[in-house]
């Protein structure tokens, strides 16, 4: 079995690149695996097995629309040169040309969605890519069962829909510390992640005596840093830290993980935190948190936008050490739903390996 993966480039630091590397590394034990990059920006940031052969369609970034014919042709030629049996198109935007190349080569095409069907981030290419995938791909892989419903409602796809969640990344062992007093949020500092909403929540939290000696740490980088730092300057006990290479060290000092995202696919940070036994409080945005958190058992799901309810949930956890310990144990057990072995079994079944 020869399987290819098509991606913009593998050098990024996002969850898409991280998950793609994990799946390719898992499959290379059972099949011939190749990576086709639209253009290369260097080696995989998260590490790629040397047995995965990597090729590029271009040496620099090109427009998918103005270079569409060339993209289809070059992708088709790589499919033939690598003698692929199936191509996994990583992220639905690349279905714009990847699906056509697969049809031309007569091989199976699997489009792997990494957001959800309601989120296009203002990009027509993503909407068009999903429309093409729905009609001419063989399979569409979503991260959540909720997203399968969204695809059916919006696009009525002819392609088969399959849910395969992200897997928990391998991390050094972390021992949860119920006596830690850090509330932690991790992510790129953008509108999507809703850190402005988190600061509004924190303003309410710090007015309560239960929050005494607790610190909010926001870990990440991005275009909204200055704006968020200015907003936080009038608030007590808020710290901004750059993205950390050793996330296990972060989780070792985290008592509560919080997420105020406006939308997600299936957030890797929640999977990591759950595996580390950290209680999570999150807004119940369109997809993701509801499939990770068992509300009232491993953390709390709060109706999206309910800032007062979010503050109450965090304060309840701050106050109750025994609740934090109970949630921690349940979180570790639930993380088995996203284990590497379980997720790779789903991928092997999908690919008939």
One of 3.40.50.970, 3.40.50.2000, 3.40.630.30, 3.30.499.10 is the CATH number of 182-337, namely: 3.40.50.2000
Average pLDDT, the chain: 95
How many Å apart are CA 198 and CA 200, to the nearest integer?
5
One of 3.40.50.2000, 3.40.50.800, 1.10.3720.10, 3.30.450.20 is the CATH number of 2-164, namely: 3.40.50.2000
pLDDT at 248 over 80: yes
Contacts of 125 (CB under 8 A, 6+ apart): 64, 65, 93, 96
Give the confidence band of 170 by pLDDT, cuts at 50, 70, 90. confident
pLDDT (tens digit, 9 = 90+) per residue, 289-335? 999 999 999 999 999 999 999 999 999 999 999 999 999 999 999 99
Residue 303 CB neighbours (<10 A): 9
Give the confidence band of 247 by pLDDT, cuts at 50, 70, 90. confident
Given this model, what pLDDT does residue 58 score?
96
Q: Which of 13, 16, 14, 67 is nearest to 38 (CA)?
A: 67
Give the confidence band of 172 by pLDDT, cuts at 50, 70, 90. confident
Angle between helices 124-136 and 95-105 (to 10 degrees): 30
pLDDT at 121 over 90: no
Distance of CA 100 to the CA centre of its chain: 26
pLDDT at 245 over 90: no
Q: Which of 153, 105, 114 is nearest to 7 (CA)?
A: 114
Same fold, 2-164 and 182-337: yes
For residues 94-100, give the mean pLDDT.
97
Q: Which of 121, 106, 252 is nearest to 176 (CA)?
A: 252
**Structural domain spans, the chain:** 2-164, 182-337
Q: How many CA atoms lie within 13 A of 243 on its CB side?
A: 10
SS (H, E, C) the chain: CEEEEEECCCCCCCHHHHHHHHHHHHHCCCCEEEEEEEECCCCCCCCCCCCCEEEEEECCCCCCCCCHHHHHHHHHHHHHHHCCCEEEEECHHHHHHHHHHHHHHCCEEEEECCCCCCCCCCCHHHHHHHHHHHHHCCEEEECCHHHHHHHHHHHCCCCEEEECCCCCCCCCCCCCCCCCCEEEEECCCCHHHCHHHHHHHHHHHCCCHHHCCCEEEEECCCCCHHHHHHHHCCCCCEEEECCCCCHHHHHHCCCEEEECCCCCCCCHHHHHHHHCCCCEEEECCCCCHHHHCCECCCEEEECCCCHHHHHHHHHHHHHCHHHHHHHHHHHHHHHHHHCHHHHHHHHHHHCCC
User: How much is the pTM?
Assistant: 0.90
Distances from the Cα of 44 to the Cα of 17, 23, 215, 307, angstroms: 8, 13, 34, 38
Do the Cβ atoms of 107 and 81 come closer than 8 Å? no
Q: Rounded to 10 degrees, what is the CA torsion of 258, 262, 267, 272?
A: -10
Do the Cβ atoms of 161 and 137 come closer than 8 Å? no
Give the confidence band of 152 by pLDDT, cuts at 50, 70, 90. very high
Strand partners, 5: 35, 88
């Amino acid at each position: 079995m020869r399987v290819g993966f098509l991606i913009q480039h593998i050098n990024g630091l996002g969850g898409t690149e991280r998950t793609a590397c994990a799946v390719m590394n898992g499959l290379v034990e059972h099949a011939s695996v190749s990576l086709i990059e639209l253009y290369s920006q260097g080696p995989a940031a998260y590490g790629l097995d040397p047995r995965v052969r990597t090729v590029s369609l271009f040496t620099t970034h090109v427009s998918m629309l103005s270079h569409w014919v060339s993209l289809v042709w070059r992708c088709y030629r790589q499919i033939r040169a690598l003698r692929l049996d199936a191509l996994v198109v990583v992220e639905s935007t690349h279905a714009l040309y990847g699906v056509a190349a697969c049809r031309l080569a007569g091989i199976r095409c699997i489009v792997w969605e990494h957001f959800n069907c309601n989120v296009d981030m203002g990009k027509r290419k993503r909407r068009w890519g999903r429309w093409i995938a729905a009609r001419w791909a063989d399979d569409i892989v979503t991260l959540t069962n909720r997203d399968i419903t969204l695809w059916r409602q919006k696009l009525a796809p002819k392609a088969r829909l399959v849910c395969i969640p992200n897997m928990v990344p391998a991390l050094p062992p972390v021992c949860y510390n119920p006596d830690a007093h850090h509330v932690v949020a991790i992510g790129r500092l953008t509108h999507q992640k809703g850190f402005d909403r988190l600061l509004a929540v924190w303003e309410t939290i710090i007015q309560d005596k239960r929050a005494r000696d607790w610190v909010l740490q926001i870990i990440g980088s991005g275009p909204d840093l200055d704006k968020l730092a200015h907003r936080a300057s009038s608030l007590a006990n808020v710290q901004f830290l750059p993205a950390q290479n050793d996330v296990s060290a972060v989780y070792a000092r985290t008592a509560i993980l919080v997420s105020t995202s406006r939308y997600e696919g299936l957030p890797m940070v929640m999977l990591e935190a759950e595996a580390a036994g950290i209680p999570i409080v999150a807004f119940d945005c369109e997809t993701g948190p509801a499939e990770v958190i068992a509300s009232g058992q491993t953390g709390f799901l709060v109706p999206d936008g309910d800032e007062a309810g979010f503050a109450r949930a965090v304060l309840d956890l701050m106050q109750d050490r025994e609740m934090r310990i109970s949630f921690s144990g349940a979180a570790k057990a639930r993380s088995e739903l996203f284990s590497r072995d379980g997720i790779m079994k789903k991928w092997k079944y999908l690919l008939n390996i």
